[in-house]
Structure 1
Amino acid sequence: MAGHDLVPPQVPPPDLLAARFAAMPAAMPAAAGETGDGPDAGPVVRRLLDLLDTLAPVESALARGCLPRCDSTFGAGLALFLAATADGCRGWIAADAAAELSGLDGGLLIDECERALAPRFQPVEGRVWRLSRVPLLEGGDGLLCAVGMEDGPSDRVTLVLQARPPRLGPVQLMATLGGRRLDVTLRLATGLPSSALADLHESFRAALADCRIDGVLTVGPLADAWLGLDRPLSSDIAL
């Protein structure tokens, strides 16, 4: 703006950047029982963003702004992140930031992030699930997002989201949409106060009324319904 000088961010010299990159910890190894078809998204994404904080602060802030967080904007944040990463890691952090990172290691970290964010396909009892692991702004284990793929033509879609937010512990949400009906099951490791539970049901009814569809919200304990963030989907889980 007039009357103000724009001061570019102070970027350390290339040799210092290379030294910082070399000193950063490598991505966490895959946990026992994982599919082994790619690294865990959380550690890889955090490593990439930490490096971007030094190398390209503006692009890093924009990339972090696309990460979903566990608050009232969660749904919008998740949609924004999935849209931003539709073209992979390079599409998410933008071409200029990708070029800066590639100058340090030839694009190895970006390629690792691409593999971590890529969806997998996992069969469970004759049904195929499209499985993605989405990092959350708060860190932790991130979010498991599984979409059930129906055999043949069908208007039914089942979505499973699960995470371990620090204040709630393990949480799983399963939503099935078919025609003009949406049924949602919310499972938690810890119970909700009666007032919060009543507000949840009322908000759900209001949302259905606004969309002019039918449906039922069920809230209960997690029990044995946990798909597992640290292991593949298994056939002993009732979906």
Structure 2
Amino acid sequence: MTVAVGETVYNEGKAPCSGLGLTWSDDDLDAAMKGPVVAILFDDVGKADIEDILTGLAETEFEQEGLRRVLADPDDIEDWRIGEAIAETYLTDHRDCYFPWPDGRDERKRGSSLPGADLVGLHNDGQGNCLAFGEVKTSSEDKHPPGAMHGRTGLKQQLEDLRDNVSIRDDLVKYLGFRAKGAKWIHLFQQAAQRYLRNNSDVQLYGFLVRDVEPHKNDLRARVKKLAEDCPGGTRIELLALYLPKGRIEGIGKAAVAARAGGAS
């Protein structure tokens, strides 16, 4: 099942940097939350791998209970994590991206925030695979653009850093490379890495806003224009703003946990 592509409400810019505003209906969001978004949010694939490794070792009921505890879903999820899961699912389904190593697997404790790009993976641009890095912000602020665009940790600065700072990109290449050894997707990484070694600006960058306010092109307009200026040759940037129905962001994490546990949606 793929998530809805959404209805386009505005377009901004052109290569090397473009912006797109999209809307989802309640039905679109509900369908996504019941399927692929929740699967990514709770890392069902990763947990299945752990279960496969450990099941044979849990021989007693006490040990089996311990395994169930280790693999249990969290009892609380921040709303912004839903935004990241929506962004990852959308880019996978509609931008031919592949993010093989979920960010959450690198947390040393639940709720921690890790440095680096929110999304690190690969994108097939029709000429093969290249590296893809994405930053995601979730905001209900009724302001265009929202405050999440600005500041040291805002989307503006994060995308500029990915565009301009080779050392940041190099670290992300190593991050993915460490995890590629022995993986089924190593050939995809090798193809993308070869392109990067030829031109360290040959990357696809995504900025993704998840909102639940009225759509407005000012969310992306200025940033699209600025990111296109002096953009290194080979770098492609796309900004997307996905507008959910009004009021759906607050509490969406708790709703996902409740639905997963079989409670009210």
Larger-gyration structure (1/2)? 1
Q: Using CA pairs under 8 Å that are at least 6 residues apart, name the structure with larger relative contact order, 1 or 2.
A: 2
Counting helix residues as a fraction of each chain, which structure ranks higher? 2
Same fold at TM > 0.5 = no
